[in-house]
Amino acid sequence: MAHAETAPEQGVVALKLSNYRDWQPGLDKVKVNAPSIYVLAPLDAHWSLEGSLVNDAVSGASPRYHSAVSGASKMDDSRTAGDVKLTHYADRQAWSVGAASSSEHDYRSNTLSGEWRMSSDDNNRTWNLGLAYSDDEIGSTNDPTLDERRRTWQLMAGVTQAWTKVDVVQFNLGASFGKGYYSDPYKFPDARPDERRQTTALLRWNHHVEAIGATLRTSWRLYDDSWGVRAHTLDAAWVQPVAEGWTVTPMLRYTTQRAARFYYDPVYDATLGAPFPSGFSNLTHYSADQRLSAFGAATAGLRVDWQVDRQWKLDLSYSRYEQRGDWRLGGDGSPGLAPFSARWWQLGLSRSF
């Protein structure tokens, strides 16, 4: 059943410690340590305030372009990000306003957002609308003169429906319209369009298996943008209580992606040679960033939750990610991509009050 729009009865303080690493053949690992804190505080019967703060410490080397050309550059940076959201609850509806900010030595981002939700009379259906605006400032340690901006509008609309007593489905549509600087100042050569329109469709289905108290969570996400990138992502997780207070959740995810129109494979200009793409002097946009290539990727993970008592909860999760050009479905993957691997774990402790 969808939930009625009522203020939370309890507050929550949650501490998280995350660790991420990725690697490719012949390159040092990127390492990210990210402690964070989240607080949810009911203010009264109709208001709540929540916010989070995270600090990322990043070191290592950025990913190479593909097997033949390394676009790696050394990284040693830290990022501080925070957000706050105020929510008002009324009869069968709620609205929120929020702000977020992120800062590192060569990048700053500020976002304002708003959201509205409304539930049906029987609380079996919930509609939601969201709007956000971001203003980003981009610099570069390699080029102190770089001072660029990017502004983005984001829209989202969706509906959640209790289909049966054991099935809940959700469908969301999203759109993003950005204009400004998109090129990567740490990859050479790299020149991307100054506009990007992105659309997403997300379908979720949760099915509760009453006989064993488990829940199957599945989703499909379609992503498409004006650069020619299109990606499908399938996700499945099995939430299984195994003992009093304990829950185990294995998960699997698969993504297949089509390359951007201006992504170039390891075929280089006959005169200039690597890393310049073939016909470089006649091109307006070009990038060898493997995130814009055609590839397939798989993720496997496991999460364990322990509800210690009514107030305290512990959780631990681990995931492993593998990306390859020839794992793409629906067409050929980009040739010459170096294998890309990543893993991350997270330890969490929360207390209700």
User: Tell me, what CATH number does 215's domain have?
Assistant: 2.40.160
104 in the Ramachandran plot: left (φ > 0), alpha (ψ -120 to 50) or beta?
A: beta
Q: Is the pLDDT of residue 206 over 80?
A: yes
Domain containing residue 235: 12-352
The pLDDT tens digits of the residues spanning 130-157 come to 999 999 999 998 888 999 999 999 999 9
Q: Assess if residue 7 is contained within a domain.
A: no
Instruction: Give the model's pLDDT for residue 26.
Output: 77
Instruction: Give the model's pLDDT for residue 29.
Output: 75
Question: Per mean pLDDT, which range of 25-34, 45-54, 102-111, 342-351 is the poorest?
Answer: 25-34
Domain count, the chain: 1
Q: Assess if residue 342 is contained within a domain.
A: yes
Q: Assess if residue 3 is contained within a domain.
A: no
The pLDDT tens digits of the residues spanning 222-270 come to 999 999 999 999 999 999 999 999 999 999 999 999 999 999 999 999 9
Question: For strand 74-90 and strand 47-61, is the pairing parallel, antiparallel, or unpaired?
Answer: antiparallel
- Count of alpha carbons within 13 angstroms of residue 71, beta-carbon side: 22
Task: Report the chain's terminal Cα–Cα distance, integer Å.
Answer: 25
Confidence grade of residue 41 (pLDDT, cut at 50, 70, 90): very high
- Environment class of residue 240 by beta-carbon count within 10 Å: exposed (0-12), middle (13-18) or buried (19+)? middle
DSSP 171-234: EEEEEEEEEE--S-TTSSS-B--SEEEEEEEEEEEEEEETTTTEEEEEEEEEEEETTS-EEEEE
Q: Structure pTM?
A: 0.92
Q: Assess if residue 2 is contained within a domain.
A: no
Instruction: Give the model's pLDDT for residue 186.
Output: 85
Q: Is the pLDDT of residue 1 over 50?
A: no
List the structure tokens of 161.
Answer: 């429906």
Determine the average pLDDT of the residues in 297-307.
98
Q: Assess if residue 4 is contained within a domain.
A: no
Q: Assess if residue 1 is contained within a domain.
A: no
Q: Assess if residue 30 is contained within a domain.
A: yes
Q: Which has more pLDDT, 345 or 77?
A: 345
The pLDDT tens digits of the residues spanning 43-59 come to 998 999 999 999 999 88
The span from the CA of 62 to the CA of 309, in Å, is: 43
Confidence grade of residue 7 (pLDDT, cut at 50, 70, 90): confident
Instruction: Give the model's pLDDT for residue 73.
Output: 61
Q: Assess if residue 229 is contained within a domain.
A: yes
Confidence grade of residue 124 (pLDDT, cut at 50, 70, 90): very high
